[in-house]
């Protein structure tokens, strides 16, 4: 609902009750398929190298680091990352494999605005395109909104088609392209912006939960309904509260 100030100028909704949320805590959290554990280079580096070391160099094209020449270089990256508060890195531990198979982080945390971004996503082949990977993203979104964040962002190289498709599949809304936003690896990057906001989250959470439910998978583990079908139906309904 629009409103005006005393000079007749249109202004945004009042947030008199807004309290900046806490920073995402460096604690483990999880679900039936995965646990997100604060990155510990000493504990996780060996397993993460076995999971991510053999991947094709193209895996690292759209990340600001990698590929890594050897395990020592990779461990150095993990040691530096584990010391960071923003980005705050987590190992994605697959419960079935009993090992970390990927990385994810919260970053660009703006507590005063209630905004947080997800990024630095890196999945081993055994994790990519699996229900466990989707559950990891669901859990990170759930944690952010439960802490009181109003806006959850996904940004990527505008040329990274897989990342853009993943954002839409999860229920993020495309907001536009920031041209020449970043220089990385000696090249210019246009950045695609996506977001989920707090008023969108309850409906997105419901469809993500429905997709992750055991009854959505047959005896061979094949999905009965695609998550993209569920989130597309939400998008076609328009913004929550509109």
Say what the pLDDT of residue 147 is: 98
Kindly state whether residue 81 falls inside one of the protein's structural domains. yes
Say what the pLDDT of residue 240 is: 58
Kindly state whether residue 16 falls inside one of the protein's structural domains. no
C-alpha angle 182-187-191 in degrees, rounded to nearest 5: 35
Residue 242 reports pLDDT greater than 60: no
> Span 137-160, mean pLDDT?
98
Q: What percent of the chain has pLDDT over 70?
A: 98
Kindly state whether residue 9 falls inside one of the protein's structural domains. no
Q: What is the pLDDT of residues 176-215, one digit of tens each?
A: 999 999 999 999 999 999 999 999 999 999 999 999 999 9
**SS percent in the chain: helix, strand, coil, step 5:** 35, 30, 35
Kindly state whether residue 10 falls inside one of the protein's structural domains. no
Q: pLDDT averaged over the chain?
A: 95
Q: What is the pLDDT of residues 226-240, one digit of tens each?
A: 999 999 999 888 765
Say what the pLDDT of residue 236 is: 83
Looking at the structure of the chain, the number of domains it has is 1
Check if the beta carbon of residue 145 is closer than 8 Å to that of residue 57. no
Give the CATH number, domain containing residue 226: 3.40.630.30
Kindly state whether residue 190 falls inside one of the protein's structural domains. yes
Kindly state whether residue 68 falls inside one of the protein's structural domains. yes
* CA of residue 238 relative to chain centroid, distance: 22
Residue 68 lies in domain: 22-237
Residue 35 reports pLDDT greater than 60: yes
Please state whether the peptide bond connecting residue 87 to the residue before it is cis, i.e. omega within 30 degrees of 0: yes
- CA dist., res. 38 & res. 25, Å (int): 9
Kindly state whether residue 207 falls inside one of the protein's structural domains. yes
pTM, rounded to two decimals = 0.94
Say what the pLDDT of residue 235 is: 87
- CA dist., res. 224 & res. 210, Å (int): 11
Query: Which residue intervals of 53-130 are DSSP H helices?
Result: 71-82
Residue 241 reports pLDDT greater than 70: no
- CA dist., res. 162 & res. 39, Å (int): 25
Kindly state whether residue 43 falls inside one of the protein's structural domains. yes
Q: What percent of the chain has pLDDT over 90?
A: 92
Say what the pLDDT of residue 2 is: 79
Q: How confident is the model at residue 47 (pLDDT cuts 50, 70, 90)?
A: very high
Say what the pLDDT of residue 1 is: 67
């Amino acid at each position: 609902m629009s409103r005006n100030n005393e000079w007749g100028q249109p202004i945004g909704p009042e947030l008199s009750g807004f309290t900046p949320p806490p920073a995402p805590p460096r604690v483990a959290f999880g679900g039936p398929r995965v646990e997100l554990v604060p990155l510990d280079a000493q504990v996780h580096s060996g397993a993460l190298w076995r999971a991510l070391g053999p991947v094709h160099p193209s895996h690292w094209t759209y990340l600001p680091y990698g590929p890594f020449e050897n395990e020592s270089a990779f461990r150095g990256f993990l040691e530096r990352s584990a010391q960071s508060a923003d980005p705050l890195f987590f190992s994605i531990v697959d419960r079935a494999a009993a090992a970390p198979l990927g990385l994810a982080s919260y970053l660009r945390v703006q507590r005063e605005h209630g905004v947080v971004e997800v990024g630095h996503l890196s999945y081993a082949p055994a994790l990519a395109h699996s229900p466990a990977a989707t559950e990891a993203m669901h859990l990170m979104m759930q944690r952010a909104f439960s802490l009181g964040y109003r806006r959850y962002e996904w940004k990527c190289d505008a040329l990274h088609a897989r990342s853009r498709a993943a954002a839409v599949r999860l229920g993020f809304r495309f907001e536009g392209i920031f041209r020449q936003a970043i220089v990385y690896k000696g090249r210019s990057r246009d950045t695609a912006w996506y977001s989920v906001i707090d008023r969108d989250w309850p409906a997105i959470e419901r469809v993500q939960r429905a997709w992750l439910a055991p009854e959505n998978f047959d005896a061979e583990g094949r999905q009965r309904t695609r998550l993209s079908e569920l989130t597309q139906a939400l998008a076609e309904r328009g913004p929550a509260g509109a």
